């Protein structure tokens, strides 16, 4: 309670109404697959365009190297072509993929930031540099033996730094033991005695730190890190500074190289050389034979170390998931389990390209029973920018883009079907109505070509055997509502659990669901028919309240798609 200790007028604000509740995004996709470059562990990378993907993950992969594992780039491209605007991508690499590096004989080991043949085209250039210089005003103690010097300014000089004293005729190198209050103590006395002192306004004798500047080049990318050091205790130590690089990583040996310029330590050449070029080599993309289902399923080694599907545990924004072209049941079941466990995302699954017969398609479909996934077939014929010809790609990337397009134009309540597949010139297999009569009731969503109407998604069913959850839009509408309420009601936690709070919660959710109903996502001619909200003594016991539980029961009536449009026509006679 506020304190009032002195006379005066106090103006205070308080919240009395419901807190506005915004809807969560349902059109952000997550993709897992092989790429030419990019991190293979940690957080998935945010992508907003195909150019963005190419910059971070490289281009298309060759069919003769990776075969059916190469479709990530095509899926992301057609996600954007079909209306998607943002996605997250997690790269998978074969176990035998290697990062390019220098020959290993240098005190500074350089390596490509992540595995792949791309690292063989990385070039690193080193140049001598200095971050600080000063002049010596006084030798403290015996001029021949003292190691302590009073300088004009010790700013930039740190313990452990290598320094060079230049008297105009030559340089002598040393190492700093301590640096404080404009007094620098060196590892050994400087040669020359009193001759090292120079108090002139424009000194001819200076003490400078010894660092180097590192330039990293890959294609059109260039990074420059100025005045980095081998002094492990310094904030400009090369490992600390270059940790943010997208091109190279570094590691230093722990050997004591003495009072030697770091440029010479790394290159083996004197500072006067001016430039040292390092070409990385030994990088490899690995082979498709080294890939297994476990690489895509990933490992949970803790924050920052998760791989594959597990990497998306740390991501709260993705609502659609796909592993394009990877139809191994183990991987797909792991993806479905991931979506079911989180309850906030939906999986889009591919069927193997060679399974075109009804029996073969059903054999693959019968592996699954889930309301958090949908399956699409057949594969799509598109233009391949790499080989300059038409190829077939899995439909999951295109369908994810159609989901996003439908969400943004109509809403998540609209079934993402009867939508044109953009960028598609043909289908791997043409199914007819009789074949769809068999596949559709079993939850296989076909993509079909119609005369004068293009190629369209012609199904909107999940893989669930539960009739309540057989439509994709129903499941995704509930994901949207649940996620929106969860994200928008954090303010309720630790509030006093009484009638005032219950009323505010009810007003908050009522306003949100009324808006959802007005958008056409809920059935009914009035909000009362579209949803109900129950909170208070009829949903909670005293034991619930005593144990800190606030229970709110919500029921909504989702709209169902008009999957079967039936016009019953009869002959009208003159007497009728």
pLDDT at 573: 73
CA angle, 211 as apex, 250 and 181 as ends, to 5°? Answer: 120
Q: Name the one residue in this structure whose structure tokens are 């952000």.
A: 28
What are φ and ψ of residue 295, in 5° steps? -65, -40
CA terminus-to-terminus distance, the chain: 79
Scanning 85-242, the segments in alpha helix (DSSP H) are: 238-241
At 575 the pLDDT is 60
Instruction: Round the CA-based radius of gyration of the chain to a whole number and report it.
Output: 33
**Rounded CA gap, 295 and 307, in Å?**
8
Which helix (H) or strand (E) is 476 found in, with range?
helix 472-488
pTM (2 d.p.): 0.88
Phi then psi for 219, rounded to 5 degrees? 55, -125
**Rounded-to-integer distance, Cα 330 and Cα 548, Å:** 41
Q: What whole-number distance in Å separates Cα of residue 260 and Cα of residue 245?
A: 27
- Of 93, 58, 97, the closest CA to residue 77 belongs to 58
CA proximity to 160, closest of 276, 259, 255, 296? 259
Buried (b) or exposed (e) across 168-197, using 16+ Cβ within 10 A? eeebebbbbeebeebebebeebbeeeeebb
Closest CA to 211 of 103, 108, 101, 102: 108
Residue with the two structure tokens 């606030």: 550
Give the CA distances from residue 252 to residues 266, 317, 410, in Å, rounded to whole numbers and listed in that order.
10, 38, 56
HEC profile for 49-87?
CHHHHHHHHCCCCCHHHHHHHCCHHHHHHHHHHCCCCCE
533 backbone dihedrals φ, ψ, rounded to 5°: -135, 125
Residues contacting residue 121 through CB under 8 Å, at least 6 positions apart: 218, 219
What is the full per-residue pLDDT of the chain (576 aa) written as tens digits?
578 888 888 887 777 666 787 888 899 999 999 999 999 999 999 999 999 999 999 999 988 888 889 999 999 999 999 999 999 999 999 989 999 998 765 688 999 999 999 999 999 999 999 999 999 999 888 877 888 999 999 999 999 999 999 888 888 999 999 999 999 999 999 888 888 888 888 888 999 999 999 999 998 899 999 999 999 889 999 999 998 899 999 988 877 888 899 999 988 888 888 899 999 999 998 888 889 999 999 998 888 889 999 999 989 899 999 999 999 999 999 999 999 999 999 999 999 999 999 999 999 999 999 999 999 999 999 999 988 999 999 999 999 999 999 999 999 999 999 999 999 999 999 999 999 999 999 999 999 999 999 999 999 999 999 999 999 999 999 999 999 999 999 999 999 999 999 999 999 999 999 999 999 999 999 999 999 999 999 899 999 999 999 999 999 999 988 878 888 888 887 665
Number of Cβ within 10 Å of residue 232's Cβ equals 12
Q: Which domains are present in the chain?
A: 29-96+287-473 (3.40.50.11780), 108-128+211-279 (2.60.40), 131-209 (2.40.30), 495-576 (no CATH)
SS3 111: strand
Query: Cβ(263)–Cβ(276) under 8 Å?
Result: yes
For residue 346, what are its two tokens?
């939906």
Contact call for residues 165 and 207 (beta carbons, < 8 A)? yes
């Amino acid at each position: 309670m506020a304190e009032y200790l002195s006379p005066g007028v106090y103006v205070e604000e308080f919240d009395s109404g419901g807190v506005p509740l915004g809807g969560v995004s349902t059109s952000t996709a997550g993709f897992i697959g092989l790429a030419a470059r990019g991190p293979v562990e940690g957080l998935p990378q945010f992508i907003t365009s195909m150019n963005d993907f190419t910059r971070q993950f490289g281009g298309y992969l060759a069919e003769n190297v990776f075969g059916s594992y190469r479709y990530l780039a095509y899926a992301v491209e057609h996600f954007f072509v079909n209306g998607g605007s943002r996605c997250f991508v997690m790269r998978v690499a074969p176990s035998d993929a290697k990062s390019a590096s220098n020959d290993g004989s240098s005190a500074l080991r350089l390596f490509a930031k992540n595995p792949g043949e791309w690292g063989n085209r990385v070039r690193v250039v080193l140049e001598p540099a200095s971050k600080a210089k000063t002049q010596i005003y006084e030798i403290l103690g015996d001029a021949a033996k003292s190691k302590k010097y009073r300088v004009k300014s010790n700013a930039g000089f740190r313990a452990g730094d290598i320094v060079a004293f230049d008297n105009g005729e030559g340089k002598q190198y040393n190492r700093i033991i301590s640096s404080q209050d404009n007094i620098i103590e060196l590892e050994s006395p400087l040669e020359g005695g009193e001759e090292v002192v120079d108090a002139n306004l424009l000194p001819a004798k200076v003490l400078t730190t010894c660092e180097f500047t590192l330039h990293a080049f890959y294609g059109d990318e260039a990074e420059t890190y100025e005045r980095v050091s081998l002094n492990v205790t310094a904030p400009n130590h090369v490992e600390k500074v270059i940790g943010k690089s997208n091109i190279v990583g570094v590691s230093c040996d722990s050997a004591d190289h003495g009072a030697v310029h770091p440029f010479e330590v790394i290159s083996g050449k004197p500072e006067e050389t001016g430039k040292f070029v390092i070409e990385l080599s030994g990088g490899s993309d690995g082979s498709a034979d080294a890939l297994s289902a476990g690489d895509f399923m990933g490992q949970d080694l803790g924050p920052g170390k998760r791989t594959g599907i597990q990497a998306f545990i740390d991501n709260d924004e993705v609502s659609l998931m796909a592993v394009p072209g990877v139809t191994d049941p183990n991987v797909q079941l792991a993806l479905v389990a991931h979506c079911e466990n989180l309850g906030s995302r939906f999986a889009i699954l591919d069927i193997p390209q060679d399974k075109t017969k009804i029996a073969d398609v059903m054999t693959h479909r019968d592996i699954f029973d889930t309301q958090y996934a949908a399956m699409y077939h057949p594969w799509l014929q598109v233009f391949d920018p790499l080989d300059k010809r038409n190829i077939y790609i899995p439909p999951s990337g295109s369908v994810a883009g159609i989901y996003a397009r439908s969400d943004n134009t109509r809403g998540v309540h609209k079934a993402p079907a009867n939508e044109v597949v953009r960028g598609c010139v043909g289908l791997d297999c043409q199914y007819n109505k009789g074949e769809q009569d068999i596949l559709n009731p079993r939850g296989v969503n076909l993509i079909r070509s119609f005369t004068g109407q293009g190629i369209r998604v012609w199904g909107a069913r999940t893989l669930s055997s539960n009739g309540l959850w057989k439509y994709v839009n129903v499941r995704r509408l509930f994901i949207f509502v649940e996620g929106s309420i969860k994200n928008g009601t954090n303010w309720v936690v630790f509030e006093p659990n009484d009638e005032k709070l219950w009323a505010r919660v009810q007003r908050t959710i009522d306003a949100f669901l009324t808006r959802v109903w007005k958008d056409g996502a809920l059935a009914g001619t009035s909000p009362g028919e579209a949803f109900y909200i129950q909170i208070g003594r009829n949903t909670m016991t005293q034991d619930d309240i005593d144990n800190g539980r606030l229970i709110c029961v919500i029921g909504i009536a989702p709209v169902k798609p008009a999957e079967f449009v039936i016009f019953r026509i009869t002959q009208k006679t003159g007497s009728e």
